[in-house]
Amino acid sequence: MKKLSLSILTLLSIFTITLPFAAAEGYFHTRTLSGHKYSVYAVAFKDDSTLISVGTGSVLHSWNLDTGAQHWQTEVGLFLISDIAISSHDSRFVVYAGGLFFRPYIGMSYTDDGDIRGYLIGHTNTVNTLSFKPGSSTLASGSDDDTIRIWDLTWDAWKSRPVRTLRGHTNNVEAVAWNPDGTMLASGSRDRTVRLWNPDNGTNTAVLRGHTNTVRSVAWSPDGTLLASASSDDTIRLWDPTDTDSPLYILEGHTGNVNTLAFHPTEAILASGSSDNTIRLWNPTTGAHKATLTEHTGAVNTIAWNADGTLLVSGSSDDTIRLWEPLAAVDVTGDGSVTYLDIMAVAANYGKAATDDIANADVNKDGIINIEDLIVVAKAVDSQTTADSQAAPTFAQQSRYLSFTAEEVQQWIQDARDIGADAQTIAVLKQFLTAGTQVAQLTPEKTALLANYPNPFNPETWIPYQLAQPTEVTIFIHAIDGALVRTLPLGEMPAGVYQSRSRAAYWDGKNAHGEQIASGVYFYTLKAGQFTATRKMLIQK
């Protein structure tokens, strides 16, 4: 394959002045699992490579996440299954619950074949929700009979009965969740309340009020210091379980019922799924919205993270399960954004072995940079532009400096087709066929000094500039009284744009003696041949 006409380093310096910043902190859709005939209502990880799911009806599916194929599927009875749970104490078994015509049902299956192993008797109406106590075989269930029941399961028993019944809700119990150390149980109900329980004695220790409609999901942060509740009032509330008079935050943004919640196992991320067909990611420590994932075409009913948080899985009324991975994994250039430039960084090394200096381009870490890497990055870029169409740069904005041949692009497309890439990915790659070469635009029309970033700063900053022609460049830093603080001699520089952190002038906030300078207003001056310009900046400590 022919080399790209422009080096990736050159592209990096150009793109940083033309593209809005798109933080690589979100997640992007990588795969779709299709096999359910109707809506998907529950998913649970058996391990990082096996997912158990259930849709409308009573068919359990077991998925191999490495290949996307099904291990098995089985009909578990003439009931509508509403939830499933897998014990971290013994992940071989899955418990599923539901009901039909007011008849409750909780069954147990072996995850290697789906065969029924037993069922639980006690509820008097449909069972909506299940949750295993961490590291144990103790199970909590919530029902339309307005109760929560606690079960100590023995897997060789054909029938089991509850050891405790928790009463207090005045309407259907829609959600239950154990805190991480298993000392507290949270529940949500159609009575619009969240309740906290001592599961050892069945005492209702707190009632959390504020939602104006059914509470559909509850979830605990990994350290147990936060409880999240989701409701048909389209909001999420974050609570301190030690001070439950009012929520810490009310998260608004969804435009439909919020059906499901899941905390990331290691990072400050809360995921929520809604009937508005979206998944939203939030910072639970601040209540800030981080990203919106928009690939589903039906209500998002269920979400789950794998053990290390490298995969988010969602099930929807569009009959699919979608897999999402971190955008940071495909930030090939390492510039904190995921754009068409990352596609080009892969393409520039197409067919090469993944040596240390180009390892980032080997996205799937199989030792070679090939079409599989290109497809993953293309999906991420497409996902970003779809999810945030107003902020995301258009392809025309991103591609106007690229230079490559149509033959190269045709080879990418053919390779993608050979391994069965979907039409959406092919469409992303096809856009490169129309990208022309505009090398003349690489040279700015005039020399200029640009605004430093960050500003205010502490203790370092970058000073960008552009040169219309090659020239000797020096930057001077002065205090507000005019005293010279530091000189940055950059030497003879070619014409071009110097804006990215790898190309802009860098100042570490120290004077000529290596001492950190005090807070205050300073001035920086660019001298480039006959050109001189000065700007103001602020150090703030």
pLDDT value at 236 more than 50: yes
Contacts of 254 (CB under 8 A, 6+ apart): 234, 235, 236, 272, 274, 276, 278, 280
Most confident of 51-60, 208-217, 283-292: 208-217
pLDDT at 123: 92
Q: Which two tokens stand for residue 526?
A: 């660019």
Candidate from 18-27, 40-49, 86-95 with smallest mean pLDDT: 18-27
Candidate from 39-53, 323-337, 456-470, 520-534 with smallest mean pLDDT: 323-337
Structure letter (DSSP) for residue 213? S
Cα distance between residue 259 and residue 280, in whole Å? 12
Q: Is the pTM of this model over 0.75?
A: no
Contact 18, 397 (CB under 8 A): yes
One of 3.40.630.10, 2.60.40.4070, 3.40.50.720, 1.10.10.60 is the CATH number of 443-539, namely 2.60.40.4070
What does the pLDDT average to over 496-503?
76
Please give the share of the chain, as a percent, with pLDDT higher than 70. Answer: 84
What's the N-to-C CA distance of the chain in angstroms? 52
Instruction: Single out the residue of 268, 270, 275 nearest to residue 236, CA to CA.
Output: 270
Please give the share of the chain, as a percent, with pLDDT higher than 90. Answer: 47
pLDDT at 392: 41
pLDDT at 468: 87
Contact 540, 457 (CB under 8 A): yes
Cα distance between residue 370 and residue 516, in whole Å? 47
- Neighbour-count burial for 512-527, b at 16+ CB within 10 Å, e otherwise: eeeeebeeeebebbbb
What does the pLDDT average to over 372-387?
72
pLDDT at 453: 86
What does the pLDDT average to over 362-387?
76
pLDDT at 113: 61
Cα distance between residue 73 and residue 69, in whole Å? 11
pLDDT at 266: 93
Q: Which two tokens stand for residue 381?
A: 């870029």
Cα distance between residue 502 and residue 157, in whole Å? 65
pLDDT at 316: 96
pLDDT band at 443 (very low <50, low <70, confident <90, very high): low
pLDDT band at 6 (very low <50, low <70, confident <90, very high): very low
Structure letter (DSSP) for residue 137? S
pLDDT value at 101 more than 60: yes
Burial class (CB in 10 A: 0-12, 13-18, 19+), 408: middle
Cα distance between residue 53 and residue 71, in whole Å? 12
Q: Which two tokens stand for residue 299?
A: 């209500």
What does the pLDDT average to over 225-237?
98
Q: Which two tokens stand for residue 318?
A: 């569009």
pLDDT value at 109 more than 90: no
pLDDT at 429: 77
- Residue of 409 and 441 predicted with greater confidence: 409
pLDDT value at 395 more than 50: no
pLDDT value at 510 more than 50: yes
Cα distance between residue 464 and residue 507, in whole Å? 11
pLDDT at 297: 94
pLDDT at 22: 36
- Residue of 197 and 371 predicted with greater confidence: 197
- Residue of 6 and 495 predicted with greater confidence: 495
Cα distance between residue 380 and residue 29, in whole Å? 7
- Residue of 402 and 480 predicted with greater confidence: 480
pLDDT band at 18 (very low <50, low <70, confident <90, very high): very low
Structure letter (DSSP) for residue 99? E
Mean pLDDT of the chain: 83
Q: Which two tokens stand for residue 378?
A: 């293309």
Contact 152, 163 (CB under 8 A): yes
pLDDT value at 4 more than 60: no
Q: Which two tokens stand for residue 113?
A: 């074949």
Q: Which two tokens stand for residue 1?
A: 């394959």
pLDDT tens digit string along 153-212? 865 555 577 889 999 999 999 999 999 999 999 999 999 999 999 999 999 999 999 999
Cα distance between residue 106 and residue 127, in whole Å? 7
- Neighbour-count burial for 465-488, b at 16+ CB within 10 Å, e otherwise: bbbbeebebebbbeeeeeeebbee
Candidate from 225-239, 378-392, 409-423, 511-525 with smallest mean pLDDT: 378-392
pLDDT value at 427 more than 90: no
Spans of all domains in the chain: 8-23+344-441, 443-539
What does the pLDDT average to over 436-449?
60
pLDDT at 259: 98
Contact 186, 196 (CB under 8 A): yes
Instruction: Single out the residue of 86, 62, 58, 85 nearest to residue 72, CA to CA.
Output: 62
